[in-house]
A and B are shown apart, each in its own frame.
Chain A
Amino acid sequence: MSTAVAQNRGLGAAIWDYLTTVDHKKIAHLYLVSGGLFFLIGGLEAMIIRIQLMEPSNNFISAGLYNEMITMHGTTMIFLAAMPIIFALMNAVVPLQIGARDVAFPFLNSLGFWLFLFGGLILNISWFTGAPDAGWTNYAPLSTTSPGHGVDYYVMGLQISGAGTLIGGINFLVTIVNMRAPGMTYMRMPLFTWTVFVTSTLILFAFPALTVGLFLMMFDRMFGSAFFDVALGGNAMIWEHLFWIFGHPEVYILILPAFGAFSEIFSTFSKKRLFGYSAMVFATVLIGFLAFMVWAHHMFTVGMGPIANSIFAVATMAIAVPTGIKIFNWLFTMWGGNIRMTTAMLWSIAFIPTFTIGGMTGVMLAAAAADYQYHDTYFVVAHFHYVIVGGLVFGIFAALHYWWPKMFGQVLSEGLGKLTFWLFFIGFHLTFFIQHFLGLIGMPRRYWTYQEGQGLELGNMISTVGAFLMAIGTLVFLYNIVQTAVKGEKVSGDPWDGRTLEWAIPSPPPHYNFKQTPLVRGLDALWVEKMEGKNGMTPAEPLGDIHMPNNSILPFLMSLGLFIAGFGFIYQVDNKMWLILVFIGMGITLGSMLTRSVKDDLGHHIHKEDLEKGAGE
């Protein structure tokens, strides 16, 4: 093969390019766009929920539709918005930070994305036929007895999408273990890469629990088994355990990369290396480990007994220690620094008090007996939004502003960024701070409506107003993206005076990332070189041919096949004719896999001469 990269930039060619790409940077774009779209859908669902709760005994939407809204809001935000945007950042940044030309398995990277996307489409198509309505936790027997096909969509959608995530996680695990540039020992890895490493490990262990749970649910609903049916000797608690064995690590899967992004941003914009780097790494690993030990704190009121409740309570409280270490290390990274208030930094700074509040309520929730009051109330809703929005969404906004120039070669408008920030930040606290109190004065979670005279009117009203501010903030952010793209001002490779390897190459990077693999001589590799007065990295190898993988449409086809088969599985309950779709879909998938197995695809080389001419970018 030659150096052929699509020169024809027609729309069709561009679409074909994205459908077939195995380039981690383009896959990052795909994840970002689709995750962003799902984020908007999830946000719209949230707004509908808040409008319904604006006043007592409201009838804006029906009770059944409301349950579909809360279910889809939770599911969409966790699985279809947060996860893919995290994956977008991982794809955009990690290979660059470790000085690699690509990920370990480019084909699988693409497959992971398409599986996620088609799973997400299945979930959202359910809006046209009746969406899942048993909550994002989908507890049996409410889910197993839920009429219609809503829960079937949930099961199929998440199964396909979850397979994609598992594949993606394994890919990053291998990438980080195997593809670091010479000299980059584990203890010289940037913290974002570290957190992605731990997150990938968590994915590897947590997602199979979800897979198993979803299979059991699928068999119960579609093939007449009775794992969760007490009348036939099953046990509904099995689902709760399986779900939370996955579900608890899941929140750390989401939050750890955000922690990593904050670490990079605090360090860069304070012009200081991260305070207590080794403690930060240790804390990250410890949080990852503890994440698996505490799932039953979601089940204090299930009736596990005081011994189990006490053990899980104390184990949960223990997580506060490594998290606290992180908070103080961030504060001391800024201590003595030279702090620049960029938009990315603003989001990071706002994260500290917000997340501290979320952590505090987390410890309060961990006090098992006290949870008998908090559990399933708006106190919990407030807590996890403080953690997930205050940690993760703030983290995503910070990371996007920080890495946008690296991803797209343009800097987002700082003015609009700050406007977004203030609208969103104020809106966020208005929405969720008050919910702590709504919970304590007796408002349970997932309530479609509340009665007049229960004292819940004011709090709900304030909460709804806040939600509108957040929505406006998000719209400003979208406007910012469009405006920046239209303006099209290009930036240098290193607009923030960065410290890590990704800032050593042009923005956006050429598709082979590094012309020559860099030699890493310490933590914050680029900063080390800068301090010695050099402009870029010292190469670790002479200039030579670069081997790159070929594009392939097969990942798209494999996922499309499963997408088609998914509908066959869902509807074969009504009529066996639907099994035809299962055969067609699985045929496409298995056929694609066979093609992949028998057809040699050795990739292509970018030749030395072309690199010297600066071509191939």
Chain B
Amino acid sequence: MRGWMGKFRSLILFGALTLFLSGCGVENMTALKPEGYGANLLFDLMMISIAIMLFVFIIVMAIYTFVLIRYRQKKGQEDYIPKQTEGNKALEMIWTVIPIILLLVLAVPTVQATFDLADTGAKNDEDAITIEVTGNQYWWHFNYKGQEITTSQDLYIPTGERVYLDLKSSDVIHSFWVPSIAGKMDTNPGENVNSMYLEAFEEGVYWGQCAELCGPSHSLMDFKVIAVSPEEFDQWVKDMQNVDPEAEPKTASAKEGQELFNNNCMSCHAIGSGGAGIAPNLTNFGNRTMIAGILEPTKENLVNWIVNPDEIKPGNQMPANLVSEEEASKIADYLLQLKHSEVTPDSAGDNNQK
């Protein structure tokens, strides 16, 4: 019996752990606290399936427990030979038919949700916002279609509205995942463009990740979705459309930085809506939540990153030691003052944790 109690105790322990953990996790990164339409739909689907599965599990465990307690060999029973039952047609029918019914109950909402989330037909409407998302090793490129806005890493969207995404990759397969707003979708190389939509209920900064192994820095390919009110979003769009890439910075060091940047970095990077898209577009860089998706936006981190990118994100395309540390410091001054919009991650309100 002792083995049995042990197992039960561990089961209870796991149950408690479950309850404890479901309250855990960071609010804007968990699939368990949906903040958007897709995540919400998927959360409901998860709950239906968990309910059905727990029902089955409890039945199995009930029979299991009974059998093991009741029919365990007792002292003096060593030679007892039980009746050799062949089977039982009625019982076997029951545990064939009931699971089929349970699965049908699950299959219907599954198919509904699958079609619902694939319904991106409205993306060609005139007032729909469609964003082309390109996964790159190891950063995200966002091109707001028909708006002449190009950004990377921070994706601004309005709340309460469906924002359509066309997803593709410039190199290997990545997967675009914002757990608390929507599910994920792969970005494929070539002409396999995938579509999905995001709809955030509340303002906030939501953490996104790459979910498909894409190289050494796969785990560092983070991005943020910044959901702001529709008015703020309109403001942001206006600001971003009026970016002047040539604008002169105020401080002397930043001015030198601008020149260094133009001479050394512009062959890959861009500011404004142009650029080849072979490296992150740095428009509005000063308002970024993070540098390279993972570092706190401080000058020290930025200088480090410019001089030695491979130490921070192994395997990325940016060459090391392109500029000296002194030059990098000036470039950092320039980049950090690139605040092209009044609308910043802070505008996204209380939900902002970073």
Contacts and interface: CB of A to CB of B under 8 A. Distances in A.
Given A142-B213, A142-B214, A353 B60 contact: yes
Interface stretch (B36-44, B123-131, B141-149, B249-257): B36-44
A437 B60 contact: no
Contacts of A337: 71, 82
Is the interface on chain B under 10, 10 to 19, 20 to 34, or 35 or more residues? 35 or more
A134 B213 contact: yes
Contacts of A426: 10
B21 A437 contact: yes
Nearest to A370: B45
A361 B56 CA distance: 12
Nearest to B183: A372
B22 A303 contact: no
A66 B219 CA distance: 11
A482 B11 CA distance: 33
A369 B42 contact: yes
A302 interface: yes
B122 interface: no
Interface in B10-33: 10-11, 14, 17-18, 21-22, 24-26, 29-32
B132 interface: no
Interface stretch (B84-92, B323-331, B336-344): B84-92
Contacts of B186: 301-303
Contacts of A301: 175, 183-186, 211
Interface string B213-247: 11111111010000000000000000000000000
Interface stretch (A270-278, A504-512, A582-590): A270-278
A334 interface: yes
A333 to B, nearest CB: 9
A360 interface: yes
Contact of A444 (B80, B185, B209, B354): B209
Contacts of A371: 183
Contact of B211 (A230, A377, A437): A377
Contacts of A235: 190, 192
A303 B192 CA distance: 8
Contacts of A353: 11, 57, 60-61, 64
B263 interface: no
A324 B179 CA distance: 31
A230 B14 contact: no
Interface stretch (A215-223, A312-320, A409-417): A312-320
A50 B280 CA distance: 33
Contacts of B73: 338-341
B307 interface: no
A211 interface: no
A303 B14 contact: no
Given A310-B115, A360-B53, A373-B31, A135 B219 contact: no
A272 B25 contact: no
A454 interface: yes
B315 A373 contact: no
Contacts of B113: 367-370
Given A301-B184, A441-B24, A321 B41 contact: no
Given A273-B84, A364-B46, A63 B217 contact: yes
Interface stretch (A16-24, A445-453, A605-613): A445-453
Nearest to A375: B184
Interface in B98-114: 99-100, 103, 106-107, 110-111, 113-114
Given A321-B103, A373-B31, A440-B31, A336 B71 contact: yes
A85 to B, nearest CB: 26
Nearest to B193: A303
B266 interface: no
Contacts of A145: 171-172
A272 B84 contact: yes
Given A141-B172, A376-B184, A458-B24, A277 B219 contact: no
B27 to A, nearest CB: 9
A462 to B, nearest CB: 8
A360 B71 contact: no
Contacts of B46: 364, 367, 370, 373
Contacts of A170: none
Contact of B67 (A303, A334, A445): A334
A314 B49 contact: no
A434 B21 contact: yes
B219 A448 contact: yes
A433 interface: yes
Given A134-B213, A272-B82, A63 B219 contact: yes
Contact of B216 (A64, A277, A305, A341): A64
Interface in A311-367: 313-314, 317-318, 320-321, 324-325, 327-329, 331-332, 334-341, 346, 349-350, 352-353, 356-357, 360-361, 363-364, 366-367
B189 A305 contact: no
Given A334-B67, A353-B61, 8 more contacts: A66-B216, A273-B85, A302-B186, A314-B110, A331-B64, A335-B67, A369-B110, A441-B179
Q: Nearest 3 pairs between A and B by C-beta?
A: A372-B183, A441-B25, A230-B190
Interface of A: 62-64, 66-67, 133-135, 139, 141-142, 145, 230-231, 235-237, 270-273, 275-279, 301-303, 305-306, 309-310, 313-314, 317-318, 320-321, 324-325, 327-329, 331-332, 334-341, 346, 349-350, 352-353, 356-357, 360-361, 363-364, 366-373, 375-377, 422, 426, 429, 433-434, 437, 440-442, 444-451, 453-456, 458-459
